[in-house]
Amino acid sequence: MKKISFVVLFLLGFLGFSQSDSSDFDRMVAAEMKSASSVQNLRVNPNTLNYDVTYHELRFTVNPDNTTPFINGQVTTTFRALSNMTTVTFDMAMELDVSSVTLNNLDLTFSQSNYELNITLPTPLTTGNTATVTITYAGSPPQAEAAFTRSTHAGTPVIYTLSEPFGARDWWPCKQDLNDKIDSFDIYITCPSAYIGVSNGLLQSSTTSGGNTTRHYRHNYPIPAYLISLNVTNYVTYNIQAGLGTAQNPFFPVNNYLYPEGNTTTVQTAINQTVPVMNVLEEKFGFYPYRNEQYGHVQFSWGGGMEHTTMSSMGGWSRSLIAHELAHQWFGNKITCGTWRDIWLNEGFAEYLAGLVVESLDGASNFVSWKTTKINSITSASNGALYLTETEALNVSRIFSSRITYNKGSMVVHMLRWKMGDANFFQALRNYLNDSNLAFGYAITSDLKSHLEAVHGASLNEFFNDWIYMQGYPTYTITAQNWGAGQAKITVSQTQSDPSVTYFEMPLEIRLSGAGGVTQDVVVNHTTNDQQFMVSVPFVVTGVTFDPNKHIISKNNVVTLGTESFPWEATISVYPNPANDQLHIMMPASIQLQKVEIYNTLGQRVGEKNSVDFSIADLASGVHWLKISTSEGVIHKNFIKK
């Protein structure tokens, strides 16, 4: 209880902050971790693994005016047996009192214990067959996790829900593990006519009788239990349209439900930012996944936001928050992380898409600033892996760590883009989102990796091991030297902040500058310590900058410009040394190679080459000498054959 109380008090402290992007980000993270406190005590429920939910009809009667958060519910669930069954179990809070369970109008025997509703079926249900049960209940949902909250705004009562990841069971009987999505559902919200109910999907009807109004929504896409929401107060509406409108795929509604005091010109202008944000995301990742229904926002009293499918719950209106919650409709809702160990697939990608909005709408320099902020957060500590251990996946603050899950997650996504190139990166993500085995289902990290590798055409094992499964970041030492006419030599080394990674192999961007403000950006593929690169540069280098566009997570880098002058023979070097199979001679482009003669320690010539790259596999182990004849003269270099 102390941990739960701490989380609630922590969140209440966020509610007084301004609506700036940074505070909205902090409050968004806090909101998404809010009801996760129960994850510390709850693992996958083995008693719910023997069936697949195909449909829910949810009927809720609530009254925000009640002095306690009271709910009357009738939940009808159709499920398919995955193995022979004599009982069916749902996750359900003990505070919800079940009055009856029926199947085909037949009363069934049931019991409640240990956050479970256990129902005895009248006859065994065999594998592949379906059954439909109706559960009638009432009660006051537990408030420790605040998945179902009664509050006020401007003195008016309001009820809203936020169930991620295990709070759905607090207000309705469900199956809430990350292994089953509900194929479709209908929800009926009945409340006093002074209020309106808001949920996912498309509004089907609104009827008033006896002082109450019932609104019926239908959602026709697979959805996990934690993304279903219920909201009731005296909302007013502000509706717009969005999307890349075409004859085949026209604009679709963005329906917004606001507190009356929140329906200001300022808020409406902020909500209008949804249109250009939607355009950016549709251009890069394909049409909004729920175009056949709607998108929208419903105001609630937690800080930050929550990506309830088709209807994000919002406690602020910054563009970054709007972008993050909208991005979740692709990454997190269309494809949901298959375990909480893979939470970066939801949060890292959603946060990076918010960064893409900055890049697209504000320009490259603002995007660099955005990445700089992320890097500074990530490197404020020396450790932290994106992929959680089983123990970490039971810790609310670790699952929703702003530094690791959100910030490191988003920058690792960017580094994948940097490594793969834009065309391959975005194509791989579109393939991932459209994979029929994953779309509107669940994915784990290896599913994403397979799609990236298929387009990249090479293994990403090393990248995933270093940046996702292991911890820390590199610190680089860069030395650039003018090296003969029209060339510069760049030497790169690194240290690692955490011993779990022996070496971070990445392409590195280095900016060389000269007199008059001229610059040239070069990319070197850094794979070993003290690695040297010879690059062509059409000016004398007077300055060097590492990673000017912030493509890499790193910290405390040291950059040096060498000022030494060298005789021409010093500009020629041989590497690697010692060598096993291949040898390379590095020399300025202004010097022409004529031939290379190889001698052993007895002075015997054992080979001759006519290229700067050649095999030494046939040489005996030991010290050898090279006689290198060039257009500038002859020099000698020694090397060791391993």
Q: pLDDT tier at 607 (50, 70, 90 boundaries)?
A: confident
Question: Which residues neighbour 144 within 8 Å (Cβ) at sequence distance 6 or greater?
Answer: 1, 4, 5, 8, 37
Rounded percentage of the chain residues whose pLDDT exceeds 70: 92
State residue 563's pLDDT score. Answer: 74
Shared-domain flag, residues 87 and 148: yes
Q: Look at residue 567 in the predicted model and tell me its pLDDT.
A: 62
Strands (E), 343-467: 441-443
CA gap 302, 27 in Å, rounded: 8
Residues 45, 559: Cα–Cα separation, whole Å: 53
Tens digits of residue pLDDT in 477-508: 999 999 877 889 999 999 999 999 999 999 99
DSSP three-state, residue 444: coil
**Phi, psi for residue 448 in degrees, rounded to 5:** -60, -45
Residue 168 has a CB neighbour count (10 Å cut-off) of: 26
Element (H, E) at 570: none
Residues 57 and 137 in one domain: yes
| Residue 13 pLDDT grade (very low, low, confident, very high; cuts 50, 70, 90) | very low
User: Do 481 and 428 lie in a common domain?
Assistant: no
558, 585: one domain: no
Residue 331 lies in a domain: no
Distance CA 385, CA 387 (A): 6
| Domain contains 242 | no
581, 529: one domain: no
The residue-averaged pLDDT of 265-275 equals: 97
Q: Is the pLDDT of residue 509 over 90?
A: yes
* 541, 462: one domain: no
Counts of helices then strands in the chain (DSSP H, E): 12, 36
C-alpha to C-alpha distance for 223 and 300, rounded to whole angstroms: 21
- pLDDT at 65 (0 to 100): 93
Q: Which of 49-53, 68-72, 564-568 has the lowest mean pLDDT?
A: 564-568
Binning pLDDT at 50, 70 and 90, where does residue 33 land? low
Q: Which residue has the tokens 């760590």?
A: 401
Query: Considering the domain boundaries, does residue 257 fall inside one?
Result: no
Residue linked to tokens 């809430």: 176
Query: 147-161, 238-252, 518-532: which range is least confident on average?
Result: 238-252
Of 3-12, 222-231, 290-299, 415-424, the poorest mean pLDDT is in 3-12
The domain that holds 376 is classified in CATH as 1.10.390.10
Q: With cut-offs at 50, 70 and 90, classify the pLDDT of residue 31.
A: low
Say if CB 352 and CB 367 are below 8 A apart. no
327 has a pLDDT exceeding 90:
yes
Q: What is the pLDDT of residue 16?
A: 31
E strands within 154-201?
156-161, 184-192, 196-198
Task: Give the pLDDT mean for 67-77.
Answer: 92
Domain presence at residue 36: no
Structure tokens that stand for 115 in this block:
């956050």
Confidence check: pLDDT of 305 > 90? yes
- 227: nearest Cα among 202, 201, 252: 201
Record the tokens describing residue 516, joined without a space: 């008059």
Closest by Cα among 232, 226, 199, 257 to 33:
226
CA distances for 430 relative to 43, 287, 363, 426, 441, angstroms: 32, 11, 23, 6, 15
**Spatial separation of the C-alpha atoms in residues 192 and 188, rounded to whole Å:** 13
Whether the per-residue pLDDT at 51 is higher than 70: the answer is: yes
Identify the CA nearest to 229 among candidates 273, 287, 171.
171
Confidence bin at 15 (pLDDT 50/70/90) = very low
Predicted confidence band of residue 583 (pLDDT cuts 50, 70, 90) = confident
Per-residue confidence (pLDDT) for residue 571, from 0 to 100: 72
- 426 pLDDT above the threshold of 90: yes
Provide the terminal-to-terminal Cα distance of the chain, rounded to the nearest Å: 63
Tokens standing for 417?
Answer: 């883009």
Taking the C-alpha atoms of residue 609 and residue 135, their distance in angstroms, rounded to an integer, is 84
Does 375 share its domain with 415? yes
* Same-domain status, 508 and 491: yes
The arithmetic mean of pLDDT across residues 135-154, rounded, is 91
**Tokens 């899950």 map to which residue?**
405
Flag whether 280 is in a domain. no
Do 513 and 371 sit in the same domain of this protein? no
CB distance 218 to 228 below 8 Å: no
Residue 569 has a pLDDT of 67
Question: What count of other Cβ atoms lies within 10 Å of the Cβ of residue 264?
Answer: 12
Cα torsion through 16, 17, 23, 24, rounded to 10: 50
Report the alpha-carbon distance of residue 605 to residue 391 in Å, rounded.
63
Q: Is 430 exposed, middle or buried (0-12, 13-18, 19+ CB in 10 A)?
A: middle
Average pLDDT over residues 257-280: 97
517 secondary structure, DSSP code: G
Distances (CA, A) of 611 to 596, 597, 599, 615: 8, 11, 16, 10
Whether residues 168 and 206 share a domain: the answer is yes
Q: State the average pLDDT over residues 586-610.
A: 82
Q: What is the dihedral of CA 28, 33, 35, 38, to 10 degrees?
A: 180
Predicted confidence (pLDDT) at residue 625 exceeds the cutoff of 80:
no
Residue 25 lies in a domain: no
Q: What percent of the chain has pLDDT over 90?
A: 74
In CATH, what number is assigned to the domain containing residue 105? 2.60.40.1730
* Least confident window among 12-16, 69-73, 203-207, 473-477: 12-16
pLDDT band at 145 (very low <50, low <70, confident <90, very high): confident
**What's the pLDDT score for residue 91?**
96
For residue 6, what pLDDT is reported?
28
Judge whether 7 lies within some domain: no
Segment 246-258 shows an average pLDDT of 86
The CATH number assigned to the domain holding 585 equals 2.60.40.10
Count of domains forming the chain: 4
Same domain, 113 and 199: yes
Q: What is the pLDDT of residues 193-220, one digit of tens each?
A: 999 999 999 999 999 999 999 999 999 9
Residues 595-634: b if buried by 16+ CB within 10 A, e if exposed:
ebbbbbeeeeeebebeeeebebeebeeeebbbebebebee
Q: Which of these three, 565, 589, 612, is where a domain ends?
A: 565
CA distance 604 to 325: 72
The average pLDDT across 576-583 equals 87
The residue segments making up the domain with residue 163 are: 45-226
Element (H, E) at 620: none
| pLDDT value at 35 more than 60 | no
Joined tokens for residue 397: 């603050």
Question: For 481, what's the count of Cα atoms within 13 Å in the CB-facing half-sphere?
Answer: 16
- Within a domain: residue 608? yes
Which residues are CB-neighbours of 370 under 8 A, at least 6 positions away?
Answer: 355, 358, 359
Higher pLDDT, 319 or 484: 319
> What's the CATH number where 530 sits?
2.60.40.1840
- Cα 523 to Cα 533: distance, rounded to the nearest angstrom: 10
pLDDT at 338 > cutoff 70? yes
CB atoms within 10 A of CB 555: 16
Residues 268 and 239 sit within 8 Å (Cβ to Cβ): no
Query: What pLDDT was estimated at residue 638?
Result: 84
Domain stop point among 168, 198, 226? 226
- Which of 509, 530, 565 is the last residue in one of the domains? 565
Greater pLDDT, 246 or 272: 272
Residue 413 has pLDDT above 70, yes or no: yes
**pLDDT (average), residues 338-364:** 97
- Averaged pLDDT for residues 620-629: 85
165-195 pLDDT per residue, tens = 789 999 999 998 888 999 999 999 999 999 9
Amino acid at 138: A
d(C-alpha 353, C-alpha 280), whole Å? 9
pLDDT of residue 462: 97
Q: What is the pLDDT of residues 86-117, one digit of tens each?
A: 999 999 999 999 999 999 999 999 999 999 99
Q: How far apart are CA 174 and CA 117, in angstroms?
A: 9
List the strands of the sheet with 212-219, edge to edge. Answer: 106-107, 96-103, 130-139, 71-81, 51-62, 184-192, 212-219, 202-209
Beta pairing partners, 188: 59, 216
Average pLDDT, the chain: 91
Round to whole Å and give the CA distance between 342 and 90: 24
* Domain shared by 213 and 73, yes or no: yes
Q: How many CA within 13 A on the CB side of residue 428?
A: 22
pLDDT of residue 633: 78
Q: For position 38, what pLDDT does the model report?
A: 45
Q: Which residue has the higher pLDDT, 243 or 37?
A: 243
- C-alpha–C-alpha distance, residues 281 and 393, integer Å: 30
Whether the CB-CB separation of 120 and 77 falls below 8 Å is answered with no
Q: What are phi and psi of 29, to 5 degrees?
A: -60, -45
